[in-house]
Structure 1
Amino acid sequence: MTKNAKVLKAGLGYTIGNYMLKGISFISIPIYTRLLSTSDYGRFNNFLTYEGIFFVFVGFAIHSSYKSARYKYKLVSENAVPGKDYYSYASATILFVLICTLAWLILFNIFEIQLSRLLGLDRFSINLLVVYSASMALITCFNTDVGIDYEYRKFLLVSGFNAIGTVIISVLLLITAFSGKRYMGMIIGASVPSILAAIYIIFYFFKRARPNNLWDFLKWGIVYSLPIVPHGLSQVVLNQFDRIMITKMVSVAATGVYSFAYNIYSILAVTFNSLDNVWSPWFYEQMRAKKFHEIKKISSIYILLMFIFSSGVILISPEIVFILGEKNYWVAKYTAIPVVAGGFFAFMYTVPAAVEYYHAKTVWIAIGTTAAAIINILLNYIFIPKIGYIAAAYATLVTYILYFCFHFFIAKKIQGLNLFSTKVILSCSVGILVISLITRMLINIMWIRWSIALLITVCSILYEENKYGYIVSKIIELLNRRENK
């Protein structure tokens, strides 16, 4: 199998597999919204927000160093010294996460009373929060590691166990032991499969290589990853902190409705997170080979495809809300539009940010995300009391637009040239805003919105084939390969 074929197969594997996993979650959403009140759903999502924060502190974003470490330390099979190779480095980082977890558990129990007042959680929930956060950090390390060599099957195995286990355990707890405290049933249901998966991951890394050379490895890895910590925290602010603000400034029920709208955005997130597992390693390879023309060509197709998909999700989002949610959640159709539009610009940021990661200029990642987080908090603080919780969705959209612009210009400065098509980026950015406006204006006229979605898909494919001719050529190539077998 050629390298390009392997990349394409991995991209399809990640995307299709993730959609199957997301399909499991989507099947469960109508069940959750009928078993959980908007208040319970809001409390559960606040717990997930806290997990997003402590995930960064427990793992110190050490997974972000893996791609660069893979090429810095190499493998034993590539003549690396045993004990100083990439696998040993990865195991050392897993041990580091475990040490951090123990330290945080001790610290949290010392200050348990203060944390209970601040977070509104009891001692059991606080300890579960730390262990769950550590589990998610370990799972992220595993996913990053297997993604480097396009091993999507291993990724899907762990992710599938986590997704299916979460649904089964959560539903069982909601209808049995926690029928009177259902948000707690959701918290435990989400935590247990992740913890079990994390135990498997620890054995996986340690079996592959012992965590040797700990000090030297971590000295480099922590210096590389540390600037990503404020970036990770700021990402939580951008993605989830608005839910805490809505709880404090509006109500926990409003947080439940707002959080439900993010289920629509997750359709988009699954796609670009899946493709990023392939895009990032491929981008690194092209950068090392200095194939800048190829980067510009493929990134344009990548952006165009995500624009088509994002536009389609926005245009049909009202119907998705009606299908997934119980009647109390239907008002989320207004929030879903800016949330998904913001998600498109969140994807767009990952394209130029790859330049910063490649050149190990992670301090710019931290600066950009921290600035964006501050802007987001200020916008929420000003407009949520005036407009209501929907203001948080529009604040996130504005913030992500600024966020992308910052990284686009920084990437150009670092590289010394623009690796990406300004024309494609500008056209798709304006297009997604226009689509959002049209959807809001025609929110109760389904047939027009669906017709526009179909028209955009057809026109975009025709444009791509006329400009690049990539999609059809790849399909023909795959069909010919199958015939020749």
Structure 2
Amino acid sequence: MFFLKKVINRLDTDFSELLSHAKNYVSADVLAKGLVFLSIPILTRLLTTEDYGVLGVFTSITSMLIIIFGLGIRGSVTRYYYEDKNDFDKFLGTNISLLLGFGLISLSGLYFFKDIFSSFFETSPNLFTYACLVAFFSVMFEIYQAYLQASKRSKEYSILSMIKSFCTISLTITIILLLEKEKYLGQVFAELIVIFLISFYSLFRVIKISKINFEKKYITYSLVFGIPVVFHLISQTVLSSFDQIIINQLVGEKETGIYSFAYQIGLIQSIISMGILKAWTPIFYEKKKNKEHKDIENLAKKYSVLIYILALCLMLFSYEIIYIMADEKFHSSQTLVPIIVLSYVFFFLYTLYVGYSFYHKKTYLIAVFSLITGVANIALNYVFIPIYGFQAAAYTTLVSFIILFGLHYINVKLIIKEENIIRLKRLLPNLVLIIFVFLLFVGIKSFLTNYLLILFTKLLLIGLVVVFFMKKRAF
């Protein structure tokens, strides 16, 4: 308790505000995704690796379709909220009309060509149709979340997210137990039922704060801001999940299932990073607007230290997490988790710099660099997976996220020419330290055979790193 109190007393006001909202977002994401992780020991025993592979492909398709149906308007809602105008209700109403109309037209078109798409994704037409429906209903929920995030209503955001996850997991397990075959449909049906209900709730809440209309100036704002974001987000999805589709195409459902499981464990890093990012974004916008550039850099450094410590813990304890969470048939995914975790560290670094592009409304630049990275990732996967097996996908993802981070840093530094950019020397030395500590452990572990000694070494290294950062007053 003394240690915790000492840390809290050292936090400045900005960092405290970041952690206050981040606590709600991260708690929601951790509890929501935590339910998923708690269900893994059950699901890995109820489902085969092939079932996991099918669900991995389903999730990848759904993620991409949500982006397409959403037209990037979630980001424009968050940005317009800070425009110092009194017409946010009209802006929101126009976008609701646009999304519902576009979504229904897109849904009809995709259903008409479902056989072609399902053939490409190596899945059934029915599963593709279910993915389309889940994506369509998810859009309104995302818009309501964007409003809650922009207005800093993090508690409501958190509660809604947790309810959604709890209902989905509970229903998934129930349906799986009732099914005699194709048990993976338990999760598919559960997601469809829950998102159908929660989307109508979200629509009702959004309409209450909107004035439904259809004005050209609002559509122009949203599409100019949002369409490049669509390409950016699709590229992001390609980086994070399209490799599962490629593994399914080139290797098979079993290997896709093992890789999907490894990604679920690695996503713990993403959950924490994205939870803090949701708190970071409105604070970043406010401080940019007030020209508090030094505060942004100081906050980013402290933010990064939290992410690095988490990454080190996950990389060191990936074996224990997998052993506890999964059936033996998934244990071969152990070596992939540290690589996936490190990939998401570079994804976090990228989010710090892409915020400048969003602030300056240079979203077309975001799209260009993200597309370059997405294409590179696809090419690398198609080249290296046939040679080195499905494990190569983890390394191609790491390389791709490093490229993404590098391109967006160059974008802000040389193209947008932001004078008050967060300096790399405030971020990278600590990351180098974390990577060195992990590699040091790998070297030490090769000489140890006793598990208790291995466990002691992990805890000692983490303790030393935390003490080092406290001595440097890094957070």
Q: Do both share a fold (TM > 0.5)? A: yes
Q: Please list, as runs of the form range in 1=range in 2, the aligned pairs for 1:35-434 lying within 5 A after superposition.
A: 35-72=46-83, 74=85, 80=86, 85-176=87-178, 178-413=179-414, 414-434=416-436
- Quote how far apart the aligned CAs of 1:26 are: 1.2
Who is 1:16 aligned against? 27
1:5–1:347: structure 2 CA closer, same or farther, 3 Å change rule? closer
Distance 1:405 1:3 in 2: 27
Contact kept? 1:295, 1:419, Cα under 8 Å = no
1:5–1:330: structure 2 CA closer, same or farther, 3 Å change rule? closer
Distance 2:441 2:258 in 1: 20
One-letter code aligned to 1:140 = E
Q: Residue deviations 1:437-479, cap 9 Å, x none?
A: 4465538865566445544544444444444475xxxxxxxxx
1:91–1:452: structure 2 CA closer, same or farther, 3 Å change rule? farther
Who is 1:475 aligned against? none
Distance 1:203 1:168 in 2: 25
Contact kept? 1:36, 1:183, Cα under 8 Å = yes
Distance 1:66 1:453 in 2: 44
Distance 2:191 2:441 in 1: 34
CA RMSD of aligned residues (A): 2.2
Contact kept? 1:321, 1:333, Cα under 8 Å = yes
1:435–1:7: structure 2 CA closer, same or farther, 3 Å change rule? closer
- Quote how far apart the aligned CAs of 1:23 are: 2.1
Distance 2:359 2:233 in 1: 18
Distance 1:51 1:213 in 2: 28
- Quote how far apart the aligned CAs of 1:73 are: 5.6
- Quote how far apart the aligned CAs of 1:92 are: 2.3
Question: Which deviates more from structure 2 when the two are superposed, residues 345-354 or residues 141-150?
Answer: 141-150
One-letter code aligned to 2:326 = G
Q: Residue deviations 1:121-150, cap 9 Å, x none?
A: 555433322221122222222222111122
Q: Residue deviations 1:3-41, cap 9 Å, x none?
A: 876554222222223222222111111111111100011
Distance 1:285 1:453 in 2: 40
1:362–1:452: structure 2 CA closer, same or farther, 3 Å change rule? farther
Q: Residue deviations 1:173-203, cap 9 Å, x none?
A: 1110x23111122211222212211111111
Contact kept? 2:309, 2:466, Cα under 8 Å = no
Who is 1:474 aligned against? none
Distance 1:154 1:317 in 2: 32
Distance 2:72 2:456 in 1: 43
Q: Residue 42 of structure 2 is aligned with which of 18, 21, 31? A: 31
Distance 1:73 1:122 in 2: 48
SS in 2 for 1:211: coil
Q: Residue deviations 1:199-225, cap 9 Å, x none?
A: 111111111222224322111111111
Contact kept? 1:231, 1:370, Cα under 8 Å = yes
Q: Residue deviations 1:300-339, cap 9 Å, x none?
A: 1111111111111111011101111100000010111111
Distance 1:375 1:436 in 2: 27
One-letter code aligned to 1:295 = I
Contact kept? 1:247, 1:255, Cα under 8 Å = yes
- Quote how far apart the aligned CAs of 1:69 are: 0.6
Higher relative contact order (CA 8 A, sep 6+): 2
Contact kept? 2:229, 2:364, Cα under 8 Å = yes
- Quote how far apart the aligned CAs of 1:394 are: 0.6
Who is 1:477 aligned against? none
Q: Residue deviations 1:367-392, cap 9 Å, x none?
A: 12111111111211221111111100
SS in 2 for 1:136: helix
Distance 1:364 1:53 in 2: 20
Question: Which deviates more from structure 2 when the two are superposed, residues 320-329 or residues 52-61?
Answer: 52-61
Distance 1:292 1:459 in 2: 31
One-letter code aligned to 1:49 = S
Distance 1:3 1:304 in 2: 15
Contact kept? 2:93, 2:207, Cα under 8 Å = yes
Question: Which deviates more from structure 2 when the two are superposed, residues 141-150 or residues 406-415?
Answer: 406-415
Who is 1:77 aligned against? none
Who is 1:473 aligned against? none
Distance 2:89 2:311 in 1: 37
Provide structure 1 residue ranges, at least 5 long, that are not aligned to the other structure. Answer: 75-79, 471-485
Tell me the number of residue pairs that the alignment of Structure 1 and Structure 2 aligns.
Answer: 459
Question: Which deviates more from structure 2 when the two are superposed, residues 24-33 or residues 411-420?
Answer: 411-420
Contact kept? 1:254, 1:389, Cα under 8 Å = yes
Distance 1:314 1:255 in 2: 21
TM-score (norm 1): 0.89
One-letter code aligned to 2:298 = K
Distance 1:95 1:440 in 2: 55
- Quote how far apart the aligned CAs of 1:421 are: 3.5
Provide structure 2 residue ranges, at least 5 long, that are not aligned to the other structure. Answer: 1-12
1:402–1:123: structure 2 CA closer, same or farther, 3 Å change rule? closer
One-letter code aligned to 2:92 = A
SS in 1 for 2:291: coil
Contact kept? 2:28, 2:159, Cα under 8 Å = no
